[in-house]
A and B are shown apart, each in its own frame.
Chain A
């Protein structure tokens, strides 16, 4: 009624709401002191390096305003890169450069930007424009992921990434976010990217949504989204689960991209993953979270491999 569903119906579907996520899952599973590990992407990168978790290569860091003047020289030989804030949230402030056109840098949309624009962007990041609470930040420059051709036709521009929700060390739900013309190459659902729910058991697409409404085909390429299948699925799940083992965050989202050469790379971790994944999967998280919680209690010593296998065999069926 009035475009609203009844709370009873949502409970039956096992949908987790915002308050429940905040009060029950985030507040109780994620210790406050662990947040900086994932909120500061530079720290996450260092952690990945220590634990040999595959991640996009870190090219450099702009730590102080003076560094931005050195950008022109630093970027002279780099044609493809990403500049992003270490403490950004919601995909804000990420500048993707996919090539050069003379003195100009080219964005995924084909728009050209000058070195002055790039410097200004870095400077904005440093002064805290994109960071939580406007605190001073650093700008990370990392290699652009050479994404696989497996997504050909599924993504309009930019790098499709795969979000896996990990609860107490078990992958419970996954989706991929396909950028569209509307989302300007960015993979954020509220900016107009397409969310496709992925079967934990197989890596195959389940259902797809755009702006929280179900869709069948990609709005720009027209490709049938149901046919999507993520390669290296098992490796990808293991990679995401290892994110839990290194950070200790009980409820988190791992964002993973697929590189042509390197396979799955951990892009970033998120201590407050959104709930849109439920719509993309057209399934509620609750039963899966309960199952993972029980398993974590019963078998605290399971290896990464065992947990991934359990999730593929059992959790995926909920």
Chain B
């Protein structure tokens, strides 16, 4: 393969690898495309209290069914003296605490952080079977009368549900009130609603879950009414007679089994608390992927401690600066003093802010050049001369620092962020350039360096760019592909177009 084909192959390979990694993370792991997106995460704590009898104890709690749209970023049981495990039985997941022996009051916690990455899809093709109620005599008559009145009003499904819930809650509809006389439990009342809906050919079921409300402690599990409208399941709050969004609740249990079972204990109580948090989407996505033990995240920058992650966040910016240098040098044709010196200056600008950085750079290099001009008369050898320039640079730093402090200018102290060795070499190189080629060339190269540093700064300081590259470090592969591509570009530079412009007139 000749080098041209190799480059094309390599560039396409890098782009393909980069793009597939990015799309995997976005589509499968749910990473957001833009790092600035925020997500609402719910921190939920389930608390089980009971008094243990002194023998072996087993506590079984019904866990929410896994949902593709709902991601869990954190899941932990806090239960001293108990072993916790998650088990699955007949499509239902349970949390199981076990202990060989326990006595006295016990408290078990289950903590989870969860969020809905998407609107849950509750469409269901199969319409569930309807179990016709078995009412007798007067009750059957009353039910039939109620259904007829509702049928005559030709209401849509949602309003029919609200109608029956209102009738049950208000207890003013005579036909329904007959049923309520013997009912005390809420679940029975909801079952009645389900039966009445069944008579109207509307499938419905009871479920239990948690309402996601911010900063609410000691909630108990709430009963919900789920209704199938022929296409999808709708969720209703039977107490307030309103339709709910699936994103506002977490359904713990859909069957009629017990939510909590305690063997070997008594006086069990079960409560929830929920707390709302706003987090950058990508943090939640990273946590969710880590919870699922995705190797992609496990062996990535995110597995590092936070301080190291921040160091890498800065390091990941450097290739972007390099790209700017490559573009400006090889496509535009700008001359800089030192190939990658502008990147280091741009990194300094990140800490000092642009205008402060530019001003400080010009002051240090300007004063340094004046001092260096005097040095050339002393006929020093190269290394001692640069070492002297280095000492000058430090003295200038100190002078700027002290003077700005006395004058009450706070930004003066930021001069220390500049890499002094690089500045010393810059001064040395500029000085030689001045002697040999004149001030014109110094201004061209110095200006070129500062222009490059400024553009690199704008790219590197853009939080959208930096967060995106931190979120998708795979983009570096695409960056590498671009740099390799430019490396084999044999067309004209912008400076060529300027330089050879006189030729087209001849």
From B330, B500, B501, B506, name the one whose CB has the most chain A CB atoms within 10 angstroms. B500
Query: Which B476-506 residues have C-beta < 8 A from chain A?
Result: 487-504, 506
Q: For B382, give its contact among A18, A19, A92, A127 (CB under 8 Å).
A: A127
A214 CB to nearest chain B CB (Å): 6
Question: Are the CB atoms of B382 and A4 closer together than 8 Å?
Answer: no
Question: Are the CB atoms of A10 and B492 closer together than 8 Å?
Answer: yes
Given A5-B497, A7-B497, A23-B488, residue A18 in contact with residue B333 (CB < 8 A): yes
B362 CB to nearest chain A CB (Å): 25
Asked if A219 is at the interface of the complex by the 8 Å CB criterion, the answer is: no
List the B side residues contacting A18 at CB < 8 Å.
333, 493, 495-496
List the A side residues contacting B490 at CB < 8 Å.
17, 19-20, 23-24
Query: Which A101-132 residues have C-beta < 8 A from chain B?
Result: 116, 120, 123-124, 127-129
List the A side residues contacting B501 at CB < 8 Å.
3-5
Q: How far is the CA of A291 from the CA of B488 in the complex (A)?
A: 23
List the B side residues contacting A52 at CB < 8 Å.
none
Residue of A with least CB distance to B505: A214
Question: Are the CB atoms of A124 and B492 closer together than 8 Å?
Answer: no
- Consensus secondary structure, chain B interface: helix
B426 CB to nearest chain A CB (Å): 14
List the B side residues contacting A278 at CB < 8 Å.
500, 503
List the A side residues contacting B487 at CB < 8 Å.
23
List the A side residues contacting B500 at CB < 8 Å.
5, 10, 13, 15, 17, 278-279
List the B side residues contacting A116 at CB < 8 Å.
379
B334 CB to nearest chain A CB (Å): 12
Question: Are the CB atoms of A7 and B432 closer together than 8 Å?
Answer: no
Question: Are the CB atoms of B383 and A3 closer together than 8 Å?
Answer: no
Asked if B437 is at the interface of the complex by the 8 Å CB criterion, the answer is: yes
Q: B-facing mask of A16-29, CB < 8 A → 1, else 0?
A: 01111001100000
Q: How far is the CA of A20 from the CA of B493 in the complex (A)?
A: 10
Q: B-facing mask of A40-77, CB < 8 A → 1, else 0?
A: 00000000000000000000000001000000000000
Q: How far is the CA of A116 from the CA of B487 in the complex (A)?
A: 46
Asked if B381 is at the interface of the complex by the 8 Å CB criterion, the answer is: yes
Given A92-B436, A120-B379, A129-B432, residue A279 in contact with residue B489 (CB < 8 A): no
B339 CB to nearest chain A CB (Å): 11
Q: A-facing mask of B116-151, CB < 8 A → 1, else 0?
A: 000000000000000000000000000000000000
Question: Are the CB atoms of A279 and B496 closer together than 8 Å?
Answer: no
Asked if A30 is at the interface of the complex by the 8 Å CB criterion, the answer is: no
A83 CB to nearest chain B CB (Å): 15
Residue of B with least CB distance to A21: B490
Interface residue count on the A side (C-beta < 8 Å): 37
Query: Which B50-73 residues have C-beta < 8 A from chain A?
Result: none
Question: Are the CB atoms of B503 and A19 closer together than 8 Å?
Answer: no
Query: Which B314-351 residues have C-beta < 8 A from chain A?
Result: 330, 333
Question: Are the CB atoms of A10 and B496 closer together than 8 Å?
Answer: yes
Q: A-facing mask of B381-406, CB < 8 A → 1, else 0?
A: 11100000000000000000000000
List the B side residues contacting A191 at CB < 8 Å.
437
List the A side residues contacting B495 at CB < 8 Å.
18
Given A9-B504, A120-B379, A191-B437, residue A212 in contact with residue B491 (CB < 8 A): no
List the B side residues contacting A212 at CB < 8 Å.
499, 502
List the A side residues contacting B492 at CB < 8 Å.
7, 10, 15, 17, 19-20
Given A5-B504, A15-B496, residue A23 in contact with residue B489 (CB < 8 A): yes
Residue of A with least CB distance to B333: A18
Q: A-facing mask of B189-233, CB < 8 A → 1, else 0?
A: 000000000000000000000000000000000000000000000
List the B side residues contacting A284 at CB < 8 Å.
503
Question: Are the CB atoms of A5 and B379 closer together than 8 Å?
Answer: no
List the B side residues contacting A275 at CB < 8 Å.
496, 499
Asked if A209 is at the interface of the complex by the 8 Å CB criterion, the answer is: yes
Q: How far is the CA of A123 from the CA of B379 in the complex (A)?
A: 9
Given A5-B503, A10-B500, A214-B502, residue A17 in contact with residue B493 (CB < 8 A): yes
List the B side residues contacting A10 at CB < 8 Å.
492, 496-497, 500, 503-504
Question: Are the CB atoms of B330 and A19 closer together than 8 Å?
Answer: yes
Q: How far is the CA of A92 from the CA of B432 in the complex (A)?
A: 10
A25 CB to nearest chain B CB (Å): 9
Given A6-B497, A7-B497, A129-B432, residue A19 in contact with residue B502 (CB < 8 A): no
B421 CB to nearest chain A CB (Å): 13
Q: How far is the CA of A5 from the CA of B498 in the complex (A)?
A: 6
List the A side residues contacting B491 at CB < 8 Å.
7, 17, 19-20
Question: Are the CB atoms of A207 and B506 closer together than 8 Å?
Answer: yes
Question: Are the CB atoms of A123 and B381 closer together than 8 Å?
Answer: yes
Question: Are the CB atoms of B503 and A13 closer together than 8 Å?
Answer: yes
Q: How far is the CA of A18 from the CA of B487 in the complex (A)?
A: 12
Given A18-B493, A19-B492, A23-B489, residue A282 in contact with residue B499 (CB < 8 A): no
Residue of A with least CB distance to B496: A17
A143 CB to nearest chain B CB (Å): 24
Asked if A299 is at the interface of the complex by the 8 Å CB criterion, the answer is: no
List the B side residues contacting A15 at CB < 8 Å.
492, 496, 500, 503
Q: For A4, give its contact among B381, B436, B498 (CB under 8 Å).
A: B498
List the B side residues contacting A36 at CB < 8 Å.
none
Q: For B502, give its contact among A20, A24, A190, A213 (CB under 8 Å).
A: A213
List the B side residues contacting A23 at CB < 8 Å.
487-490
Q: How far is the CA of A10 from the CA of B500 in the complex (A)?
A: 8
Given A17-B492, A18-B495, A19-B493, residue A190 in contact with residue B437 (CB < 8 A): yes
A148 CB to nearest chain B CB (Å): 28
Residue of A with least CB distance to B425: A134
Q: How far is the CA of A282 from the CA of B505 in the complex (A)?
A: 9
Given A4-B501, A214-B502, residue A129 in contact with residue B493 (CB < 8 A): no
Question: Are the CB atoms of B381 and A127 closer together than 8 Å?
Answer: yes
B397 CB to nearest chain A CB (Å): 24
List the A side residues contacting B497 at CB < 8 Å.
4-7, 10
Q: A-facing mask of B358-382, CB < 8 A → 1, else 0?
A: 0000000000000000000001011
Residue of B with least CB distance to A190: B437
8 intermolecular pairs with C-beta atoms under 8 Å apart: A5-B498, A5-B500, A9-B504, A24-B490, A127-B382, A207-B506, A212-B502, A214-B502
Top-8 shortest CB links A-B: A127-B382, A17-B496, A17-B492, A282-B506, A20-B490, A5-B501, A120-B379, A4-B497
- Given contacts A92-B436, A214-B502, list 16 more A-B pairs with CB under 8 A: A5-B501, A5-B504, A13-B503, A15-B503, A17-B491, A19-B330, A19-B490, A20-B491, A23-B487, A123-B379, A127-B382, A190-B441, A279-B500, A279-B502, A279-B503, A282-B506
